[in-house]
């Protein structure tokens, strides 16, 4: 087995049989996660390659390059793995979340504003606990805002600090 | 404004030019078609109570006469990006196609990079290079918010750009929107000219020649390179083109631009440039009520 090298991008192996770095997720497992958790068809990602840089940080890139790639960024930061519960990024949920049909929680405008401001809030939710796609209505349809963690009757905002906004005073 | 007096011989209506330079510019946003449509972005902005005016030459741009671009839901969703109107010109002139290999040689903070990605329908390879780590982090935050997935970001001096991580193959197109003396941004940054010096202009022209040369070398035969600045100084514009016409395998080509402009200047002070530089376009602030800009389209010939 090889080691994970933290500063460069290594393409994810297609399957377990091709894996040569301990703990590195496979492309198959990534596609299965999005399909099982959010109902997103693996075909959505057919043109994408997935890469690990840093421990468990997965990036999605349209197209392909020879692995490894030692540059600053490759595509979009996509999800965190190598922990008990895998977690999509805000960017991935905004870009691919419109295709999700399960584990999606829809908020009214006031709750959406609190979520975007980074607040945790008590909310009714009949579905699974864990990471959810959080949506609200804008310009005639639902649109994902980011990722929420639902536990113990509470939706915890996972919006990164730099992307929080407070629109409540407007 | 004194630094601008040197341009009196080459500007068509110098009084109108000076008076336009003193007027502030409204903020402008570009709709990010990777994540939404122009119509939905317009509806989202209107629902947020933001007044917007269309921009005649580009359906994906809106002027916001009363508001800043960043504090609203459409921004949060990555549907819009604040970008000066005239800075949307060079990516439209480069006209990259989905699936191509494209290089943005001086990419940060990423307004043009994200515009190129949208024109490519987020497909193909878009390499974005900058030598400044701090500015690259701004670029990264813009590509992420706008949902770009076809970008590969490198931190290096564009003059020494390496194709190695990308299989060594030349690019189909390159955008060279170089660091410059920024005289044309005076309507947004009235202090721009306080630090002006001829030495700075001449020094930065050397860097510009190096970056443009590397871009021509890294682009395939018959490929396209667009050179642009937001400055008026011929030393940084026609002078740089004149240099590469002499040293690299390239020629300047004609192109359409749905804006008012003046042709590139062949004579400046005691210099005469290659007559091809006439095919470049000078956009002055009074022409279209925008910032100032310079843009040229080159074809690689070998």
What amino acid positions of B are annotated as catalytic residues? 230
Strand-pair partners of A9: A69
Choose one of A92, A127, A148: the last residue of a domain: A92
Interchain CB distance below 8 Å, B71 and A165: yes
A114 and A76 housed in the same domain: no
Q: What average pLDDT does range B241-254 have in this prediction?
A: 98
Choose one of A92, A127, A151: the last residue of a domain: A92
Crossing angle of the two packed helices B111-119 and B133-145, in degrees rounded to 10: 40
Task: Give the model confidence (pLDDT) of A81-124 as tens digits.
Answer: 988 899 999 999 999 999 999 999 999 999 999 999 999 999 99
A128 and A158 housed in the same domain: yes
Give me B265's structure tokens. Answer: 């200047």
> Does A50 fall in a domain?
yes
Q: What pLDDT score was predicted for residue B189? A: 87
Interchain CB distance below 8 Å, B150 and A95: no
A60 and A108 housed in the same domain: no
> Does A18 fall in a domain?
yes
Q: What is the CATH number of the domain that holds A112?
A: 2.30.130.60
Please give the mean pLDDT across all residues of chain B: 96
The answer to whether B122 faces chain A, any CB pair under 8 Å, is yes
Q: What pLDDT score was predicted for residue A108? A: 97
The residue assigned the tokens 């390659």 is A49
Please give the mean pLDDT across all residues of chain A: 95
**What is the Cα–Cα distance from A110 to B187, expressed in whole angstroms?**
38
The answer to whether B72 faces chain A, any CB pair under 8 Å, is yes
Sign of the CA dihedral with A35 first, then A38, A41, and A46 last: negative
Interchain CB distance below 8 Å, B150 and A75: yes
Candidates B97, B21, B112, B99; CA nearest to B295 is B112
A82 and A19 housed in the same domain: yes
Residues of A with CB under 8 A from a CB of B: 47-48, 60-63, 65-66, 69-77, 91, 94-95, 116, 138-141, 143, 145, 162-163, 165, 167
- Cβ–Cβ < 8 Å for A156, A149: yes
- Cβ–Cβ < 8 Å for B245, B276: yes
List of long-range contacts for A159-164, beta carbons under 8 Å, 24+ apart? A159/A90, A159/A115, A159/A116, A159/A118, A160/A90, A161/A118, A162/B141, A163/A90, A163/B76, A163/B145, A164/A116, A164/A117, A164/A118
Q: What pLDDT score was predicted for residue A82? A: 84
State the pTM of this model. Answer: 0.97
Q: How far is B125 from chain A (nearest CA, A)?
A: 7
* Residue B57 pLDDT > 70: yes
A13 and A78 housed in the same domain: yes
* Residue B252 pLDDT > 60: yes
A48 and A15 housed in the same domain: yes
Task: Kindly indicate the confidence band of residue B107, based on its pLDDT and cuts at 50, 70 and 90.
Answer: very high
Task: Give the model confidence (pLDDT) of A81-93 as tens digits.
Answer: 988 899 999 999 9
Interchain CB distance below 8 Å, A62 and B141: no
The answer to whether B117 faces chain A, any CB pair under 8 Å, is no
Choose one of A50, A65, A92: the last residue of a domain: A92
A40 and A83 housed in the same domain: yes
- Residue in A70, A77, A95 nearest the CB of B35: A95
- On the CB side of A110, CA atoms within 13 Å amount to 2
> Does A142 fall in a domain?
yes
> Does A32 fall in a domain?
yes
Q: Ramachandran region of residue B289, left (φ > 0), alpha (ψ -120 to 50) or beta?
A: left
> Does A170 fall in a domain?
no
A84 and A124 housed in the same domain: no
A15 and A82 housed in the same domain: yes
Task: Kindly indicate the confidence band of residue B109, based on its pLDDT and cuts at 50, 70 and 90.
Answer: very high
A14 and A35 housed in the same domain: yes
Q: What pLDDT score was predicted for residue B267? A: 97
Domain count within chain A:
2
- Cβ–Cβ < 8 Å for B151, B128: yes
Interchain CB distance below 8 Å, A145 and B124: no
- A146 to chain B: closest CA residue: B77
**What is the Cα–Cα distance from B105 to A102, expressed in whole angstroms?**
42
Q: What pLDDT score was predicted for residue A166? A: 93
Q: What average pLDDT does range B239-251 have in this prediction?
A: 98
Please state, in angstroms and as integers, the Cα–Cα distance from residue B5 to each residue in B22, B187, B194, B237, B285, following that order. Answer: 14, 16, 14, 17, 15
A65 and A111 housed in the same domain: no
A118 and A86 housed in the same domain: no
Backbone angles phi, psi at B137, to 5 degrees: -70, -30
* Residue A1 pLDDT > 70: no
Residue A133's domain spans which residues?
A: 103-163
CB burial class (10 A; 0-12, 13-18, 19+) of residue A71? buried
Q: How far is A163 from chain B (nearest CA, A)?
A: 8
Q: Look at A6 and A133; give whichever has higher pLDDT.
A: A133
User: Which ranges of B132-177 does DSSP label H, i.e. alpha helix?
Assistant: 133-145
Which residues 5-64 of B have a C-beta within 8 angstroms of A?
Answer: 34-36, 40-41, 43-44, 47
> Does A4 fall in a domain?
no
The 3-state DSSP class for residue B234 equals: helix
The residue assigned the tokens 């890469």 is A51
> Does A97 fall in a domain?
no
> Does A168 fall in a domain?
no
Least confident of B155-164, B191-200, B277-286, B291-300: B191-200
């Amino acid at each position: 087995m090889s080691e994970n090298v933290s500063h460069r991008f290594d393409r994810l192996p297609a399957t377990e049989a091709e894996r040569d770095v301990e703990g590195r997720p496979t492309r198959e497992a990534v596609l299965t996660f999005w399909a099982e958790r959010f109902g997103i068809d693996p075909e959505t990602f057919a043109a994408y390659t997935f890469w690990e840089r840093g421990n468990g940080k997965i990036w999605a890139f349209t197209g392909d390059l020879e692995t490894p790639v030692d540059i600053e960024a490759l595509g979009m930061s996509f999800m965190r793995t190598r922990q008990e519960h895998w977690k999509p990024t805000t960017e991935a949920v905004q870009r691919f979340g419109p295709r999700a049909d399960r584990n999606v929680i829809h908020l009214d405008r006031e709750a959406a504003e609190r979520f975007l401001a980074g607040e945790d809030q008590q909310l009714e939710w009949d579905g699974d606990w864990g990471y959810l796609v959080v949506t609200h209505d804008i310009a005639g349809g639902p649109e994902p805002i980011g990722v929420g963690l639902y536990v113990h009757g509470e939706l915890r905002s996972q919006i990164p600090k730099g992307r929080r906004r407070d629109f409540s005073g407007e | 404004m004194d630094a601008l007096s040197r341009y009196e011989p080459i500007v068509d209506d110098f009084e109108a030019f000076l008076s336009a330079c003193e007027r502030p510019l409204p903020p402008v946003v570009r709709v990010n078609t990777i994540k939404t449509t122009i119509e939905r972005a317009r509806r989202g902005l209107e629902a947020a109570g933001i007044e917007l005016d269309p921009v005649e030459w580009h359906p994906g741009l809106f002027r916001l006469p009363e508001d800043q671009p960043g504090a609203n839901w459409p921004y949060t969703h990555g549907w819009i990006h604040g970008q000066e109107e005239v800075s949307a010109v060079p990516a439209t002139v480069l006209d990259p196609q989905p699936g191509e290999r494209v290089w943005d040689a001086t990419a940060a903070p990423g307004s043009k990079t994200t515009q190129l990605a949208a024109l490519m329908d987020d497909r193909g390879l878009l390499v974005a290079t900058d030598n400044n780590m701090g500015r690259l982090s701004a670029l990264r935050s813009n590509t992420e918010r706008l949902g770009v997935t076809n970008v590969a970001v490198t931190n290096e001096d564009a003059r020494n750009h390496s194709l190695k991580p990308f299989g060594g193959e030349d690019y189909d197109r390159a955008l060279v929107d170089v660091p410059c003396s920024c005289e044309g941004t005076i309507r947004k940054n009235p202090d721009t000219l306080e630090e002006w010096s001829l030495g700075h202009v001449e020094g930065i022209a050397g860097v510009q020649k190096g970056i443009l040369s590397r871009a021509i070398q890294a682009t395939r035969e018959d490929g396209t390179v667009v050179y642009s600045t937001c400055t008026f100084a011929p030393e940084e514009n026609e002078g740089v083109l004149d240099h590469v016409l002499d040293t690299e395998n390239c020629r300047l080509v004609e192109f359409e631009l749905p804006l008012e402009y003046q042709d590139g200047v062949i004579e400046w002070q005691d210099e005469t440039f290659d007559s091809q530089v006439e095919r470049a376009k000078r956009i002055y602030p009074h022409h279209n009520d925008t910032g100032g800009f310079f843009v040229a389209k080159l074809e690689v010939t070998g």
